[in-house]
Structures are given as C-alpha cells and as structure tokens.
Amino acid sequence: AGEHDDNPDGRIAEDIRVTTESAVELGQALFYCILLFFTFVAVLWRISGTVHVDIGGTVIAIPGYMVFVALTYSAIGTSLALWAGFPLVGASNLRQTVEANFRFGLARAREYSESIALIGGDSDERTHLQNLLRGVRHGWERQTYGLVRIIVFTTAYGVLANPFPLLVAAPRYILGYITLGTLMQTAQAFSQVTAALAFPVDNLSGIALWRASVERVMALQNALAGLEEKLGANRIEVTHEGNSLQLAGVHVMEHDATPVMQEITARIEPGEHVLIEGKTPICHKLILAIVGLWPWGAGKVTLPAGANIFTATDRPYLPVGTLGEAVCYPMTLGACTPDDINSALHRVGLGEWAGQLGVTENWETVLSVAQRQRLSFARMLLHRPDWIFLSEATNALEPPAQREMAELLVKEFPSATVVAVGRAGLFDGFFQRVLHVEAETASGGMASGKTRVATPI
C-alpha cells in the first residue's frame, strides 16, 4: 500500500500483538496508579497543613500546599521525561521495520535457496542479508541510545523523589509547626502521590514501544483505507447477471491510474473457448479484472449469474498440509473423497502421488512448477466449474502435456466456457476465437479490442 507496504504480515502479526499486550499492561499499571493517587492525595492534603505566603504585602493561605508541590514536581518530571523519550518512539519504529525486513529477507532466501545457488547468486544474497543485518544493528543502536536517555533521567528522577519532600517540608519542622512524625508522614504520602503521578516516567519505554507499534498499525490501516479513495472513479464495475460474459469499455489501469491497455469491448457466450492474446502481464491483469480482483480501471464486466468460476495461474498456490488438502483447496478435505482425489491425480498425470494423500509437506517446494500446474487441473476436476479462466496455466508444460490438458478439458468439461491467456499456438485447435488485447499507446489513445476467429476444433 504505497509507502507503507513493507511487510504487512509483520505489522499484522507482531505489531498488533505488541499493541494489544502493551495496552493491557499499561492499562493495568495506570489503574493501579489512579488508585494509589486517590488513596494518598487526601492524606497528603490533610497532614501538609496550610502555608501562608506573603506576596507584595498580601498574605495568601495555601491549604494542602504539598499536594500542589507534588503536582508541580510531577508535571515538570513528566515533561522532561517526554522530551527524553521522544527519540525512542522513532527508534522503536525503525527497529521493528528493519527486523521485519531482515526476517522477510531470510525467509525469501530460504525459499529460493536452490535457485540462488544454481545461478551463483549466493555472494550477492549474502551481501544483501549483511546489509539488512547492519540495518538491524543500527536500529538497535538507536533504540539503545533512546533507552539510555530514559534510564539516566528516570534514575535521577527517582533519586530526587525521596529527599525532595523532606527538603520542602523541613522549614515547617524547624520552625516547630510540625513534629518529626508528621514530617515523615508527609514525606511518605508525598512519595506515594508522586509515584502515582510518575506513571508516564516509569513506563516511558513501554509507552514508546506501544506508540511505535500503534503508529505502524495505523499507518497500514490508513494506507489500506486510502486504496478506496485512490480508486475514486477509476473502478471497474463487476456485476452478475444473464448467462454470458460481457466486457463493456473495460480499460485496465495500474494502481496510480496509469492506463496499461486499450479499451476493450467483447462478449463471450457459454461454451466458447476464447484465447486472450497480448502481452502476458496485461492479459493477466485483464483476467484479474474479469473475476473482480483488479478494480483499477474503467468500464463494466458482467459475469454470468450463479456461475461456478475456477481460475488457474502459472504458479498455483499450495497450502502447507497434506497432499489431499492441497488438491482439494480451497474446499475442505471432507468435501472430497480419497477415491475422487486419486482419480483426479491419475487423470492429470500425477498418479505417482496418489498414495500420499495423507503426507504433510510444503508442497510448493516438493512439487515442480509443471507438477503444480497439473495439480491445478486436478483441482478443477474436483470443483467441476462451468466457467474456467486460465492465465498461463500450462506454460511450464511441454507441448504434448499441454495437448493432454486441452483434451482433458474437452472430455471433462464439454459445455464449460474457457477463457485463457497465452500464445496463439497454445492448445492448437482448441480455441474457437482469439481476443487480441493491445497495450496502451504513449499518446493514450483508446481502441476496441480486436477479435479474430481461430480454427474451431
């Protein structure tokens, strides 16, 4: 989400945890301080007596003067504490950010370790991780500096808090207005009141960490909320009615409203096999716009009412879990029988995995890209869709395997509508027509999408 898109998963997990846990701890400490204050402020008011101050010949009586002294002392201390702790907020925010970046870098290096080693990029990756680690060290150095400032101040504040009430009340004791016992009671009550009012001082580091986490969470929330504002009028309208797919003046844009393709108008009837031809990134965005996952742009997409839609991409997502769960996803395992899953795996050429439905693995790393694409077709067999969208869903397969998948679609889904992104030669004879998508020209001109008829099967 713009400038706030660094590791949103870390913000959701770590920052929200810190925000909620710290809020509970700080709330508990604040409640205790409130009880402590109201318990001892009345005692301090009563035993501190009344002091008379001569101002320009006018004598002013100040009852419970030690209470006002305690309030003034605490106000000054809190103000200085906030000044001392101000750098800690930014330092805590920086530390959390660089730590999240470092964790993300390590996870990404582990995920692509084989590819990095094969291409000989281990040296560059090591340098990148070292730079991230230096960022972590710098973040901790800044936070340590902020903590040292707070520790020095809070230590000095705590040391002065003990003798200060004795020094203030000592003149009345020396003049004989109060006894030694009253002096000690005054000092004790003063200490308790200032301890209660010292909540910001005593919890300054916790407040700084909590505030930094709150700022990061709120920045993410504001960035997400800002997406709706950025859309404004540049939104592709998606509705569900009728029995055909209609594109009316659809114009796909980037997040910043930069046009990426020329306006397209088309109609796809049930049972048609249509190939969308053009630059792959643009065509992929068009597929996303059709299924309602890319709102940036203009125009209207009308999907068939009640359509059972299945979308397959070049890198299908496989959740960590059993193989059976990965094949059934996003349905639950209980929605598919083992026989159905095994049959689907055999029909897509993954029969060797049929006996491992209960094995738990990170299947995205176990299976090759080609095997994952075959597994996506196995999912399709279990879901039984009537509208199928393919975005480079077979680009990792050899031509014979691509023809196998095309034959599978014809055999298993004879009445389904298939809309695919790929090259003109893909699935020879499978597509009935080709919808050509043009990239947006530098002049920003618009034109209707060009359609040409392909050789029917």
| Confidence band, pLDDT 50/70/90 cuts, at residue 246 | very high
Q: Where in the chain is the domain with CATH 3.40.50.300?
A: 237-453
Distance CA 182, CA 185 (A): 5
pLDDT of residue 446: 44
Q: Is it true that domain 237-453 has CATH number 3.30.70.270?
A: no
What is the pTM (predicted TM-score) of this model?
0.66
pLDDT, tens digit, for every residue of 145-181? 988 888 888 888 888 888 888 888 888 888 888 888 8
**Residue 12 confidence (pLDDT) above 80:** no
pLDDT of residue 114: 73
Q: Where in the chain is the domain with CATH 1.20.1560.10?
A: 2-231
Angle at 149 between CA 146 and CA 150, to 5 degrees: 90
Distance CA 428, CA 418 (A): 14
Q: What amino acid is encoded at 69 in this protein?
A: V
**Residue 250 confidence (pLDDT) above 90:** yes
Q: Is 139 within 8 Å of 98 (Cβ atoms)?
A: yes
Topology classification of domain 2-231: ABC transporter transmembrane region fold (1.20.1560)
